[in-house]
Amino acid sequence: MTEVVCPNDTNPMGLLQGGRLVQWMDIACAVCAQNHAERICVTASIDSVKFRSPAKVGDIITIKAKITRSFNSSMEIYAQAWSKNVLSQKSYLINEAYFTFVAIDDHAKPTQVPSVKPSTAIEKGEYLNAEKRKATRIKTSK
């Protein structure tokens, strides 16, 4: 997903608001989840949000979202947000986070999602670590 930082997306210093960036990331992750599940999906949680660098008015934001693992009705999606200065053409990571989405049926009840089959070493690592992140989310939510 690609967005451009406009003045209404920024704070008084001309820097992209964190909430706006998280909103864009949430939308990108929703599209990823819904494409995988072939169903409407809703946000269940967002964790490990890491703001690394600011983005400024005029910067181009590229958000990459990828499913790391599916469980029964939920999916973990990893998102990275990159900012690019148009004049210098320099890109840098500004944010990353893990989102959990739940697929729902026509009655807004959780429904089964297809499994994920990791193929690369990185995908396999993310897949295995998703179980640990899920356990941590459950433990800290109690």
CATH number where 57 lies: 3.10.129.10
Alpha carbon of residue 2 to chain centroid: 13
Q: For residue 78, give both structure tokens.
A: 């990893």
Q: How far apart are CA 114 and CA 44, in angstroms?
A: 18
Q: How far apart are CA 100 and CA 30, in angstroms?
A: 9
Q: Structure pTM? A: 0.93
E strands, the chain, are 2-4, 40-51, 60-70, 74-84, 91-104
Strand, helix or coil for residue 107: coil
Q: Are 70 and 116 in contact (CB under 8 A)?
A: yes
Domain extent, residue 112, equals: 2-141
Strand, helix or coil for residue 109: coil
Computed over its alpha carbons, how large is the radius of gyration of the chain? 16
Q: Give Cα separations from 94 to 32, 33, 39, 134, 139 (angstroms).
A: 20, 22, 30, 24, 28
Number of structural domains, the chain? 1
**Which pLDDT belongs to residue 137?**
85
**141 pLDDT higher than 90:** no
pLDDT in tens, 27-84: 999 999 999 999 999 999 998 788 999 999 999 999 999 999 999 999 999 999 999 9
Q: For residue 44, give both structure tokens.
A: 């269940």
Instruction: Please tell me which residue, 137 or 122, carries the higher pLDDT value.
Output: 122
